[in-house]
Structure 1
Amino acid sequence: IADCPPLDANSAYCNLLQCSHFRHTSAVARKGGRLIGFVSGYRIPDKANTLFIWQVAVSAEARGLGLARAMLNDLVSRSENAGLLWIETTITANNDASWAMFEGFARSRNAMTKRTVMFDRHQHFGGRHDTEYLLRIGPVGP
């Protein structure tokens, strides 16, 4: 995560908890034993048919190869995620790579997208963080 700005860095402990507690909704990609991709997510408690993607990180050497989309497709196709209809994530306005990846994922699954403000720069972050837009994708199907 630390090598993939503009992502907010979490502690190693947080990342380990994500991979253990949310192992069915997180994915890693390795090349030659090295970690080159990571997706963390969780099923939203009040919306069991929705997977919230917290972070997507791909190392510089693996960017542009479709790895992030492949990890998302893997998550959607897992038997543990049967019944999943929607994917949600938040993205800042200037994160062009994330917008392109998630919108491309939606197109590849013939899914609709809807963008709304989730956390406002001033109202929620006191001006210290960019507005986070909620992107809802679906239905994503099996």
Structure 2
Amino acid sequence: MTAAPADHLRIPRGLTDRGLTLSPPQVEDGAALWRMARDSRVLDLNSSYSYLLWCRDYAATSVVAREPDGSPAGFITGYLRPEQPHTLLVWQVAVDHGRRGQGVAAAMLDGLVARTGRELGVTGIETTITPGNEASERLFTSFAERHRAPLSREVLFHAEAFPEGDHQPEVLYRIGPIPAPDTDAHPAADR
């Protein structure tokens, strides 16, 4: 499956020079996404089965960054909130170790929000971040700034809500409304 032209434009020029593209995930990507989540050592690892289902059932609200050979270099999984169908809930963001620090996560987020806005009418995003996850805090804060969208934060789930006993609270980040993209501007391409 190939990425839409607008998705290609949202990848920083240095990455397109190396052939990185964006596209929705395919079922065949499930195992690689599971391994990437496992190897991140920060994401909650879901069952390998759940990543296969995610690639099948939520491909329209998720994205994979692909290497020139087609293998995944990063992914974002997301879904539309059932009671707020114009809100994309970003579930997980992962970038392969060899691609970190190159703007891949920001490019995937920009491309995914642009595509879901165009195709599904998404006007806002939500995600949860545990305190101290500076990479995720920077990713979503800089997204809001780049797109001139309001950002609010509040605790969604307190630590006591989790049965494990050692889980940190989950802070809900709400971004939106997201202004319609300027067809001449490509925020992530300026990096």
Tell me if both proteins adopt one fold, taking TM over 0.5 as the criterion: yes
**CA offset at residue 114 of structure 1?**
0.4
Q: Are the aligned partners of 1:24 and 1:75 in contact in 2 as well (CA < 8 Å)? A: no
Gaps in structure 1 of 5+ consecutive residues? none
> Which residue, out of 65, 75, 85, partners 1:48?
85
Higher strand share: 1
| In 1: Cα distance, 2:63 partner to 2:86 partner | 19
4+ residue segments displaced more than 2 Å:
none
> Which residue, out of 73, 93, 98, partners 1:61?
98
Secondary structure class of the residue paired with 2:174: strand
**CA offset at residue 128 of structure 1?**
2.4
Percent identity reads: 46
Name the stretch that deviates more: 125-134 or 53-62. 125-134
- Superposition map of 1:73-92 within 5 A: 73-78=110-115, 79-81=118-120, 83-92=121-130
In the alignment, does 2:29 pair up with 1:29?
Answer: no
Q: Aligned-residue CA RMSD in angstroms?
A: 1.2
Q: Are the aligned partners of 2:148 and 2:179 in contact in 1 as well (CA < 8 Å)? A: no
| In 1: Cα distance, 2:151 partner to 2:98 partner | 29
- Superposition map of 1:113-132 within 5 A: 113-122=151-160, 124-126=161-163, 127-132=165-170
For normalisation by structure 2, the TM-score amounts to 0.70
> Which residue, out of 8, 14, 17, partners 2:50?
14
In the alignment, does 2:141 pair up with 1:103?
Answer: yes
For normalisation by structure 1, the TM-score amounts to 0.93
| In 1: Cα distance, 2:63 partner to 2:179 partner | 19
**CA offset at residue 141 of structure 1?**
3.0
Q: Which has the larger radius of gyration?
A: 2
Q: Deviations over 1:11-30 (max 9, x none)?
A: 12101111111111101112
**CA offset at residue 139 of structure 1?**
1.4
Higher helix share: 2
